[in-house]
Structure 1
């Protein structure tokens, strides 16, 4: 297998774009090569098979959507209020929505994971680790709320993002902002 990290990343980014545009059925080495702008046959030099490409695209998603250092600093350095949690949640929603194709690709990967045990294992481990990180980070920050608060916000805001990206006409921007505020208000006790 080839090891050029820049080309591998370009191929995985191409795979994410193909997944978002064509779905899992459209994910072929040829489609990824074309999307990445590389010679035909390149993807097959980097990934042993389609399953490996799917799995690696799932891992790449989390690299693409990772919060910036500034966003992470807001958790630790901001005021310890529900209002600040709402600010943080708006940033999360905005960040994920700004990576529309990556999030749509993740939805495709989740559906594909129902049929592919290796992909399901990778995504389950990654999502579980992400949720546990968010809980630990929230509790350590001293922000109001507990582990259940984090889980409720995780579930509510993920579905709001799905609505925005798949059926954008359901909620206006104002409704979405109000829903974020309401989710924080109801998920954080006191």
Structure 2
């Protein structure tokens, strides 16, 4: 039987995500990660000697978690039959990004995106990747006759991401009406 407990580096990266989402970039310290992970002082610095090494591990973990989630969504979701179905799916995804586990990771991701302006290696890790969720949108737009479906998908998903960012900063929910407007624009 395989041991299914996460390795120590994963535990520390997950704790770092929690610290970053709760305390911001200034609060992300080795000591804070040790406390959050419930590990002895010095554990984080033994695995990640520098703050940059800790931040890189955190970003890699965020991307891995996001990619796994997007892959699972895409595999479990057939290509939408119409714009309303795509709108409902994107609205549900936004709702998850604004609450619970999704909120924590999204706050950390945005903080890392800002930090990546000063650290090219983080920017490289955060580059949007191909996944089943993105392919589902591309397939839908292609089926609807959109010639530049790849580009429109990127624009649509970037706009959706912007709505999520706005609601995290300013409060409120992303509405189906807002998402519907973005989907309609992508279809034009």
Q: How far is the alpha carbon of 1:106 from its aligned partner?
A: 1.0
CA distance in 1, matches of 2:80, 2:19: 41
Judge conservation of contact 1:20–1:105 (CA < 8 Å) in 2. Answer: yes
Query: Structure 2 regions of 5+ residues with no counterpart?
Result: none
**Structure-2 separation of matches of 1:70 and 1:114:** 30
Distance (Å, rounded) in 2 between the aligned partners of 1:140 and 1:68? 15
Decide which moves more: 138-147 or 4-13: 138-147
Q: Which runs of 5+ in 1 are unaligned?
A: none
What is the CA–CA distance in structure 2 between the aligned matches of 1:47 and 1:5, rounded to whole Å? Answer: 17
CA RMSD in angstroms, aligned pairs only: 2.5
Superposition TM-score, scaled by structure 2 size: 0.80
Q: Which moved more, 1:60-69 or 1:159-168?
A: 60-69
- Structure 2 SS opposite 1:39: coil
C-alpha displacement at 1:166, in angstroms?
1.4
Q: Report what 1:110 is aligned to.
A: 113
Partner of 1:100: 103
Deviation at 1:11, TM superposition (A): 1.0
Task: Count residues with an aligned counterpart.
Answer: 177
- Aligned-pair distance for 1:167? 1.0
- Residues 52/133 of structure 1: CA separation in 2 closer, same or farther (3 Å cut): farther
| TM-score, with length taken from structure 1 | 0.80
> In the aligned structure 1, how far is the partner of 2:122 from the partner of 2:23?
19
- Larger CA deviation: 61-70 vs 148-157: 61-70
Asked whether the 8 Å contact 1:74–1:88 carries over to 2, the reply is no
